[in-house]
Amino acid sequence: MDKKETHPARVLVVEDDEAIRETIAYNLKKHGYRYLLAANGLEGLRMLRRENPDLMILDLMLPEMDGWKLCEQAREEGFDLPIIICSARTSEYDKVQGLSIGADDYLAKPFGMSELMARVEAHLRRHRQLATGAGKPEPMTIGKLTIDPERKEAFAEGEPLGLTSKEFAVLFLLARESPLVISREDIYKSVWGYEMLHGDRSVDVFVRRIRKKLAGLFPETTFLQTHYGFGYKFEAREPSKK
């Protein structure tokens, strides 16, 4: 969903633990953000639809509607705001699953408020840069694929892939730097805005999400090539050329 940027940014916090919810709110206010608070998933969904905030901080284990469903619903309804999951579920499976259903970031509890605020700032900054079309780069066309930075979307002969802002940022970075191979660390730093922690699989999850959307419209072509142990590059290939 498109909207005009407002100042200061508004952050929706969906968290059923009152102490954590109020602590996050206090720190958001201290850093100059406005906040909206919801204690369960359904209330969070209603606030998301009514207020259209700039970013959402989301717990997973919520009453009435869990965070998994809320995240999925937000993406299905076209909300393109950054979503940061903050959860006590710390397994690699949970982190990968959270990113796979549409979250932009995953922070395991317990976490430091300074780290959360740094991530909020980074995501809002990157999202704002994409929304304003910083630098106004020209669209790129590779065969039947068009990557349009002004619209933050990629198209197959006019049909949109339905990319989120962060998915688009990863695709655009790789296409813009082609034929260079970009390391996972450099992709993460460029798109997420801070250093990647050891073992973080966010880049791999987002590449997988982009590949799935590309494959739906380009079943005979792969665009994002893996360089194992290092990173990825953008190169259109037919299956027989692998």
* Residue that finishes a domain, picked among 132, 167, 190: 132
Q: Is 122 exposed, middle or buried (0-12, 13-18, 19+ CB in 10 A)?
A: middle
Band of the pLDDT at 135, cuts 50, 70, 90?
low
For the entire predicted model, the pTM comes to 0.78
In a shared domain, residues 66 and 159: no
Give mean pLDDT, residues 135-158.
86
In a shared domain, residues 20 and 122: yes
| pLDDT > 90 fraction of the chain, expressed in percent and rounded | 67
What are the pLDDT digits (tens) for 196-226?
888 888 999 999 999 999 999 998 899 999 9
* Residue that finishes a domain, picked among 107, 132, 157: 132
In a shared domain, residues 191 and 122: no
Domain that holds residue 59: 10-132
Is residue 3 assigned to a domain?
A: no
Other Cβ atoms closer than 10 A to 170: 25
Is residue 5 assigned to a domain?
A: no
CATH number, domain of 70, equals 3.40.50.2300
pLDDT of residue 69: 95
Check whether 67 has a pLDDT greater than 50. yes
In a shared domain, residues 152 and 235: yes
Q: In terms of C-beta distances under 8 Å and separation of at least 24 residues, what long-range contacts does 42-47 make, across chains too?
A: 43/14, 44/12, 44/14, 44/70, 45/70, 45/73, 45/74, 47/12, 47/14
In a shared domain, residues 17 and 113: yes
In a shared domain, residues 37 and 101: yes
Band of the pLDDT at 165, cuts 50, 70, 90?
confident
In a shared domain, residues 161 and 116: no
Cβ atoms of 13 and 38 within 8 Å: the answer is: yes
In a shared domain, residues 117 and 72: yes
Cβ atoms of 97 and 89 within 8 Å: the answer is: no
Q: Is 196 exposed, middle or buried (0-12, 13-18, 19+ CB in 10 A)?
A: middle
Total number of domains in the chain: 2
Band of the pLDDT at 241, cuts 50, 70, 90?
very low
Cα separation, 118 vs 31, in Å, equals: 10
